[in-house]
Amino acid sequence: MEPRIAIRQGVGITARIVQQQELEFKRLFVEQPVLIVVEQGIKALRWSSGECLIRSGEAIAIAGGQSVDISNRLPEDGSYCARWLVWDSTLIAAYSQMHPQQTVIRHAMPITYSSAEFSTAYQRALQAVEDATIPLDIARHRICELLLWIGMSGGRFEQTRTLTLSVKIRRLVGQDLAREWSAPDIASEFAMSEATLRRKLADEGTTLTEILVDARMSFALKLLQSTALPVSQVALDVGYQTPSQFAVRFRHRFGFTPTAVRRRVLNASS
C-alpha cells in the first residue's frame, strides 16, 4: 500500500493515508466535507460535542468548517491505512438543493451501510477521481452516488454559506502555500487596511501568523501522510527553505517531528 493523492477538477480529491506509528493530531481544521474509510487500524475522532471510533472496514462522514482531534491507531500487525474522499463543492451544493429534507451533518456521522453495494459504490467513486479517461459526467455521477448512501445513513453535507475571515484567508493562502505571504498583501486581497485585518482577526480569536502557520502545517501533514515526497520537498512546498526550520514549526504545532509521521516503530523484542 503506497500513500497517494489524486485530484480531478469538477469531481473531487482522494488520498490514501499510511501511518507507521500511533500519533495524535490536535485541532486539525477540516475545511471541506470529507468521507473517511478506514482500511486497517482504528481512527479515534473527537469534535466539540462528541467522539467516536472508526474501525477497519467502517466509514464516517465529517462536516467541513470545524476543528477535530484525531488519533490513528495501528492494527496488531501492520500499518494504519485509510482513504478519504472530498467532493467538488458544486456537487455538494447541487445535492443539498435536491435533498433539503435531509438532516445536515453538523459535525460527524458514522456510515451505517457497510454492505457490498456501498463498498462497490465507494470503489467506483475513487476510480472516478483517479482515472481521467472516465468521462466527466460519468465520474461526477459516480462520486455523487456516495452522497446518496450518506443520505440513506441519515444526513447530508452542506457547504458553509457564511465564511469567517479566518477561513477566507486559509483558502487564499492555500492556493499557494509556498508564497511568502505578507499582511499588506493579504489585506489588499480583501480590500481592507492592515489594521482592520488584524482587528477583525483578533475579534475571531486568532492572528494572521497563526493562520499561516496552521494552514502550512496542516497541508504538510497531508503530504507526509499521503505522498512519498521527501521531507525537504514538503518543506519547500509549504514555504520553508530549510528542512530544519520546517521541522521546528511542525514539532511546535503537532508535538512531534515530520519524520515521526512516517517512522516505523520497531518491536522492542526484535
pTM for the whole structure: 0.89
pLDDT computed for residue 2 by the predictor? 61
Mean pLDDT of 147-176: 90
Q: 1: number of CA atoms within 13 Å, CB side? A: 16
- Confidence grade of residue 114 (pLDDT, cut at 50, 70, 90): low
pLDDT of 83 above 80: yes
Whether residue 42 contacts residue 173, with contact meaning beta carbons closer than 8 Å, is answered with no
Task: Judge whether residue 129 has pLDDT over 70.
Answer: yes
CB 228 within 8 A of CB 2: yes
Angle at 197 between CA 193 and CA 202, to 5 degrees: 145
Confidence of residue 270 (pLDDT cuts 50, 70, 90): very low
Taking the CB of residue 10, how many other CB atoms lie within 10 A of it? 12
DSSP SS3 for 50: strand
Q: Does the pLDDT value for residue 267 go beyond 60?
A: no
Torsion angle of C-alpha atoms 55, 224, 176, 131, degrees rounded to 10: -60
Query: Cell 458514522 sits at which residue?
Result: 110
> Which domains can be identified in the chain, with CATH numbers?
4-152 (2.60.120.810), 165-261 (1.10.10.60)
Mean pLDDT for the stretch of residues 45-72: 93
Beta-carbon contacts of residue 253 (< 8 Å; ≥ 6 apart): 213, 214, 217
Sign of CA dihedral 142, 151, 59, 225: positive
Q: Please enumerate in sequence order all residues whose Cβ is within 8 A of that of 193, keeping only pairs 6 or more positions apart, or say none.
A: 187
Question: What whole-number distance in Å separates Cα of residue 139 and Cα of residue 184?
Answer: 41
Q: At what angle do helices 165-174 and 208-226 cross, to 10 degrees?
A: 50
